[in-house]
């Protein structure tokens, strides 16, 4: 990986789409439980999407309203969220139409939050965004990947990465 290359006398910028200049630390991914309504294959487990290794979660089908939700064991001040879908080699099985939401309250529900706010939309199957509301001191309890249009094939959720203070 590099920023520049000289190829056949041409000057090219070689920035990886997942690389950021301010990316100074690795995600924390604090202890959490994962819940989903996506239809997975028998050998794919939702926790693979939240692991910090090369494992991934494969859902053979998804419908509008399907979700994969990370519920933190303890609410935390989240300052960045990254969600990567699709194969990292060919970009296949991306969730092209989905959004990431943050949940701040969990009063009566064990595996979900009471209300969510939109953090951002997936673009080319990816969201990599700083959380501006963490400056208010509000603590995030849930991070939800929500399907907003039914994909034509299965989807791969490679990583849900969370950075906390």
Closest CA to 38 of 68, 17, 64: 68
Q: Where does 28-164 sit in CATH, by number?
A: 2.60.120.260
Q: What is the pLDDT of residues 125-149, one digit of tens each?
A: 999 999 876 556 688 999 999 999 9
Each domain of the chain, given as residue ranges in start order, spans 28-164
**pLDDT greater than 50 at residue 94:** yes
Rounded to whole angstroms, what are the CA distances from 67 to 3, 7, 46? Answer: 36, 43, 11
Sequence-ordered strand ranges (E) for 31-139:
32-36, 39-40, 57-61, 67-76, 78-85, 98-103, 116-121, 126-130
CA distance 157 to 134: 25
CA-to-CA distance for 53 and 38, rounded, in angstroms? 21
* pLDDT digits 0-9 by tens, 43-88: 899 999 999 999 999 999 999 999 999 999 999 999 999 999 998 7
105 has pLDDT over 60: yes
**What value does the mean pLDDT take over residues 26-49?**
93
Q: Is the pLDDT of residue 13 over 90?
A: no
């Amino acid at each position: 990986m590099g920023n520049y290359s000289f190829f056949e006398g041409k000057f090219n910028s070689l920035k990886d789409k997942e690389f950021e200049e301010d990316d100074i630390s690795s995600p924390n991914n604090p202890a959490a439980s994962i819940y989903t309504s996506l239809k997975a294959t028998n050998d794919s487990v939702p926790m693979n999407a939240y692991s910090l290794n090369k494992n991934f979660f494969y859902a053979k089908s998804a419908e509008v309203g399907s979700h994969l939700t990370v519920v933190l064991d303890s609410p935390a001040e989240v300052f960045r969220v990254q969600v990567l879908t699709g194969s990292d080699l060919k970009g296949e099985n991306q969730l092209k139409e989905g959004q990431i939401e943050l949940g701040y309250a969990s009063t009566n529900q064990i595996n979900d939050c009471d209300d969510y706010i939109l953090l951002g939309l997936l673009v080319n199957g990816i969201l990599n965004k700083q959380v501006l509301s963490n400056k208010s001191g509000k603590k995030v309890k849930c991070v939800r990947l929500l399907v907003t249009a039914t994909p034509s094939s299965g989807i791969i959720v490679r990583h849900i990465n969370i950075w906390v203070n």
